[in-house]
């Protein structure tokens, strides 16, 4: 597709030039963020992974079990992904979205099967209302199969993203061990969550949410559940993610050098519904752009995922 045909789809370039939200971004009244009234004072649990290898391991596993069953979400600190890796990833993501549209649009595609693509919605063809978000989606396992498709501008993009994806994968594998243990999946057998995946797959998104002149009319990302196994999200310093619990939305406030982990639909199935894949959404605001970088960890397409025997 030519740049001229797609340029109107890139919300970041609309956002800088309008003082009202174009009608294709306006949600029906029954489906708006209600920014002022709906959030609850609750917060998702913070779990310190430092303790995982010490005498308090059982306590950490208990905290994971509680978080996955009650919230479907938790934050983690001391997770092993180096601060530098995180900082470099955020910086290169910011640089990517600051490039002129003519550069970004080279990666534009509405074809959801593409393994590297820039877009503004889950599926531009089928969505009635567009999201106030531009995103770059990448497949990243194994890296060597996909890296040549990734953007080559900024020049450090591939190197930085490969380092980040490798480091986050190692973290996800640790999390899968813990989660398997916490839900009572039989140890050292085919039943562990990581062994049900066939050839594992790993995707990333770089989400860019531009400032929005009427943030109460639209969503960066409307309420949804993640269809994959588990997700690990890196947020910048602007708060925008909200998690649904007990009829209210909990705002997740960013904490530097932490990840937000959530249970996806497939983990809910593997855990026989003990763990919950819960609704979450991203709201935008009028003065600050923000970036988030979720990693989605999934089974390969040929894997059969079902409830697993418990020990």
Instruction: Find residue 139's DSSP bridge partners.
Output: 203
Look at residue 242 and give the partner it binds from ligand OGA, Ni ion, none, a contact being a CB closer than 5 to 8 Å depending on partner kind: none
**Least distance from C-beta 121 to ligand OGA, angstroms?**
12
- Does 241 sit near ligand OGA (CB under 6 A)? yes
282 binds ligand OGA (CB under 6 A): yes
Nearer to Ni ion, 134 or 226 (CB): 226
Instruction: Please say which residue, 276 or 280, places its beta carbon nearer to ligand OGA.
Output: 280
Phi, psi of 19 (to 5 degrees): -110, 5
Q: Which residues contact 191 (CB under 8 A, 6 or more apart)?
A: 180, 185, 308, 309
Min dist. Cβ of residue 7 to ligand OGA (A): 23
Burial-class residue 233 by CB neighbours within 10 Å (0-12, 13-18, 19+).
buried
| Residue 207 binding partner per list Ni ion, ligand OGA, none, with a CB distance cut-off of 5 to 8 Å that depends on partner kind | ligand OGA
- DSSP per-residue string spanning 48-91: EGGGGGSTTHHHHHHHHHHHHHHTSEEEEES-SS-HHHHHHHHH
The separation between CA 132 and the C-alpha centre of its own chain, rounded to angstroms, equals 16
Q: Is 221 in the site for ligand OGA (CB under 6 A)?
A: yes
Q: Using CA atoms, how far apart are residues 183 and 178, in angstroms rounded to an integer? A: 9
Calpha distance 149→151 (Å, rounded)? 7
Stretch that binds ligand OGA, among 8-16, 42-50, 193-201, 233-241 (CB under 6 A): 233-241
Contact with Ni ion (CB under 5 A) among 134, 163, 226, 236: 226
Question: In angstroms, rounded to a whole number, what is the distance separating the alpha carbons of residues 276 and 44?
Answer: 14
Q: Which of 280, 295, 297, 298 binds ligand OGA (CB under 6 A)?
A: 280
* Least distance from ligand OGA to the Cβ atom of residue 134, Å: 12
d(CA 311, CA 183): 9
Of the candidate spans 10-18, 40-48, 178-186, 224-232, the one that interacts with Ni ion by CB under 5 A turns out to be: 224-232
242 part of the interface to ligand OGA, by CB under 6 A: no
**Is residue 139 close enough to count as binding ligand OGA by CB under 6 A?**
no
| Parallel/antiparallel/unpaired status of strands 46-48 and 248-251 | unpaired
Residues that bind ligand OGA (CB under 6 A): 205, 207, 221, 226, 233, 240-241, 280, 282, 292, 294
Which residues contribute to the site for Ni ion (CB under 5 A)?
Answer: 226
């Amino acid at each position: 597709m030519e740049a001229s045909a797609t340029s109107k789809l890139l919300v970041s370039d609309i956002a800088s030039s309008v003082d009202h939200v174009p009608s294709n971004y306006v949600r029906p009244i029954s489906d708006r963020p209600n920014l002022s009234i709906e959030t609850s004072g609750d917060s998702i649990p913070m779990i310190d992974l430092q303790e995982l290898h010490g005498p308090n391991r059982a306590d950490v596993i208990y905290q994971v079990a509680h978080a996955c069953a009650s919230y479907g979400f938790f934050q983690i600190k001391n997770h092993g992904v180096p601060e530098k890796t995180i900082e470099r990833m955020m910086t290169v993501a910011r640089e990517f979205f600051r490039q002129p549209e003519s550069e970004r649009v080279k990666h534009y595609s509405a074809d959801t099967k593409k393994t590297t693509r820039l877009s503004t919605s889950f599926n531009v063809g089928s969505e009635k209302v567009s999201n106030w978000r531009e995103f770059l989606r990448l497949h990243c396992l194994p890296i060597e199969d996909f890296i040549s498709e990734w953007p080559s501008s900024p020049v450090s993009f591939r190197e930085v993203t490969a380092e980040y994806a490798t480091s986050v994968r190692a973290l996800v594998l640790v999390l899968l061990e813990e989660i398997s243990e916490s839900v009572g999946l039989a140890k050292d057998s085919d039943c562990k969550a990581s062994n049900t995946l066939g050839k594992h797959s790993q995707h990333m998104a770089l989400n860019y949410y531009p400032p929005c002149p009427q943030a109460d009319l639209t969503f960066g990302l409307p309420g949804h559940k993640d269809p994959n196994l588990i997700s690990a999200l890196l947020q910048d310093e602007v708060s925008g993610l909200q998690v649904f619990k007990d009829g209210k939305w909990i705002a997740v406030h960013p904490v530097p050098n932490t990840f937000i982990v959530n249970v996806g639909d497939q983990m809910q199935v593997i855990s026989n519904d003990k763990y919950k894949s819960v609704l979450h959404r991203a709201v935008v605001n009028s003065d600050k752009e923000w970036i988030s970088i979720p990693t989605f960890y999934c089974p390969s397409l040929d894997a059969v995922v079902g409830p697993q025997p418990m020990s």
